[in-house]
Structure 1
Amino acid sequence: MTERRVLEFPDRAERENLATFLSRAVRLDPAAVVRLRRRGDRQVAAWVATGFETLAMRTVDAGLGVDDVTVGADVLLAGLPADGPVELGYSMDSAWRGALPPVEGFTHVDDVPARTLVDLAEQGARLAKEQGGHGPPVALLDQPVLTVSGAGAGVAVPMRVVFALTAMDFIPHAARPERIGSAEMVRVRATRTWLRLDARFGSVARRLGGGIPLLAN
Structure 2
Amino acid sequence: MISPHRGNGRSDSGESEFGLWPAGPADRADLATFTDRALRLDEAAVVRLRARGADRVVAWVATGFDVLASRVVHGRVNPADLSAGADALARGLVAATERVEPGFPMDSAWRGVLPPDKGFVHIDDVPARVMLDLAARGAELAREHGSAHGPPASLLDQEVLVVSAPGGDLSVGVPMRCVFALTAMGFLPQRAEAVPADEIVRVRILPAWLRIDARFGSVYRRRGDPAVVLR
Using the TM superposition, give the Cα deviation of residue 41 of structure 1 relative to its aligned residue in structure 2, in angstroms.
1.0
State how far apart, in whole Å, the 1-side matches of 2:144 and 2:193 are: 24
- Whether 2:105 is the aligned partner of 1:91: answer yes
Task: Output the TM-score relative to the length of structure 2.
Answer: 0.88
* Residue of structure 2 equivalent to 1:112: 126
* Residue of structure 2 equivalent to 1:65: 78
Contact map agreement 1:195 1:205 (CA 8 A) in 2: yes
* Residue of structure 1 equivalent to 2:147: 133
Q: Tell me: CA distance 1:2–1:212, structure 2 relative to 1, closer, same or farther (3 Å).
A: farther
Contact map agreement 1:170 1:200 (CA 8 A) in 2: yes
Give the aligned residue type for 2:172: V
Give the aligned residue type for 1:100: L
State how far apart, in whole Å, the 2-side matches of 1:59 and 1:4 are: 22
Give the aligned residue type for 1:126: E
State how far apart, in whole Å, the 2-side matches of 1:196 and 1:8 are: 27
* Residue of structure 2 equivalent to 1:155: 172
* Residue of structure 2 equivalent to 1:193: 208
Contact map agreement 1:3 1:66 (CA 8 A) in 2: no
State how far apart, in whole Å, the 2-side matches of 1:115 and 1:136 are: 22
Deviation beyond 2 Å, 4+ runs, structure 1? 1-4
Q: Tell me: CA distance 1:155–1:3, structure 2 relative to 1, closer, same or farther (3 Å).
A: farther
1:30 to 23, 26, 43: 43
State how far apart, in whole Å, the 1-side matches of 2:15 and 2:179 are: 42
Residues 141-174 of structure 1: CA deviation (Å, up to 9, x unaligned)? 00100000105311000001110001111012x2
Count of matched residue pairs: 212
Q: Secondary structure at the match of 1:86?
A: coil
* Residue of structure 2 equivalent to 1:170: 187
Q: Secondary structure at the match of 2:139?
A: helix
Residues 15-49 of structure 1: CA deviation (Å, up to 9, x unaligned)? 11110111111111111010001101100000001
Residues 30-81 of structure 1: CA deviation (Å, up to 9, x unaligned)? 1101000110110000000101000000001011111111101110110112
Structure 1: runs of 5 or more not aligned = none
Q: Secondary structure at the match of 1:87?
A: coil
Structure 2: runs of 5 or more not aligned = 1-13
Residues 71-123 of structure 1: CA deviation (Å, up to 9, x unaligned)? 01110110112222112221111111121111111011100000101110111
Give the aligned residue type for 1:155: V
Moved more, 202-211 or 148-157: 148-157
> RMSD across aligned C-alpha pairs, in angstroms?
1.3
Q: Tell me: CA distance 1:129–1:111, structure 2 relative to 1, closer, same or farther (3 Å).
A: same
